[in-house]
Amino acid sequence: MSTPTSAARLRRTPAFADLPTLPDRDEHHAWDVWGRDDELGTLNLIGPEQRLAAARTVRTGEMVSLTLPLDEPDPGLFDERSSYRHVVEDTPAGHDDRLDEFYLQGSSQWDGLRHIKAGKHGYWGGRTEQDLAASDVLGVDRWAEHGLGGRGVLLDVAGHLAARGTPLAPDEPVEITTALLDEVAAAQRTTFESGDILVVRTGWTEWYRALPREDRLQMRGTIGSGFACPGLESTREMAGYLWDHEFSAVALDNVGVEVFPVDRAKGFLHRRLIPLQGMPLGELWHLAGLARACARRGSHEFLLFSGILQLPRGVGSPANAYAVL
């Protein structure tokens, strides 16, 4: 079982407060930590040592899928992202199939480094639109070549709050603060190690799947107008927390990692984490089975691996993620 969160460890990166800021904005960036030609971002924190340590967390060999079926959420939440069409073709030997109009960010997925830019300051490393148009730089295939797998840690916020008698409302903009993350970690006796993949359960995906179809249909297209769900607070403090704990990636079971709607006065976590810190963000993960398995075992650490698509210039990828306990 993990030990309390106060365990000290040696830092491998500069503290968030010591990172430089953008020329005209008080926003810290990590572009020089691994060099401005870097294409991995915080996945640099996962190497052979971290993978071996992650393998040592396996006790029973139980494997749990962390992703939704490709046709969920059903219906999709964004008007501009149509549902794919699965076409099966007959062949002399049997069948071939393909997916038409398949959006890579339509189901459980990772946002890649081509997904979001920091306004005029560009993408990870300060790259411009012209840089991305002229080469395969920052495609998700770079992550696929390196591999996305290591020690995963689940913070079951939904389970913790329910046990406390204050369940999380899945259709309200509840901010998950750094203090709440620490509270859950302490209650679980979960420590963090450099390179960990942080997984946070809000219960949103489970709630959405259980809704009647007519209710789900009414939610389509409301992301920018009335949609609300719990998520990480979008503050600079949260960005610093994730950086200073040296997480290699963070994934949630909600729509966009951060709380919706986003408070513009606090800023957008996506615009801090992806282009400025180089951090992969996982969205719409399915964590009910993982939460049950961790509760049975009495530990919230596991080996996590994710099959990123080998897609040159890819902006995102289905997560294809599993936990082994």
Confidence of residue 4 (pLDDT cuts 50, 70, 90): very low
What pLDDT was estimated at residue 8?
58
Architecture of domain 16-324: 3-Layer(bba) Sandwich (3.50)
What pLDDT, on a 0 to 100 scale, did the predictor assign at position 6? 40
Three-class DSSP category at 269:
helix
- Ramachandran class of 320: left when φ > 0, alpha when ψ lies in -120 to 50, beta otherwise: left
Q: What are phi and psi of 154, to 5 degrees?
A: -95, 125
Question: Does the pLDDT of residue 16 top 60, yes or no?
Answer: yes
What's the pLDDT tens digit per position in 82-103?
789 999 999 999 999 999 999 9
**In the chain, where are the structural domains located?**
16-324
Compute the radius of gyration of the chain from its Cα atoms: 19
Report yes or no on whether pTM surpasses 0.85.
Answer: yes
Give dist(CA 236, CA 267) in Å, integer: 8
| pLDDT at position 122 | 97
List pLDDT tens digits, range 202-233. 999 999 999 999 999 998 888 878 899 999 99
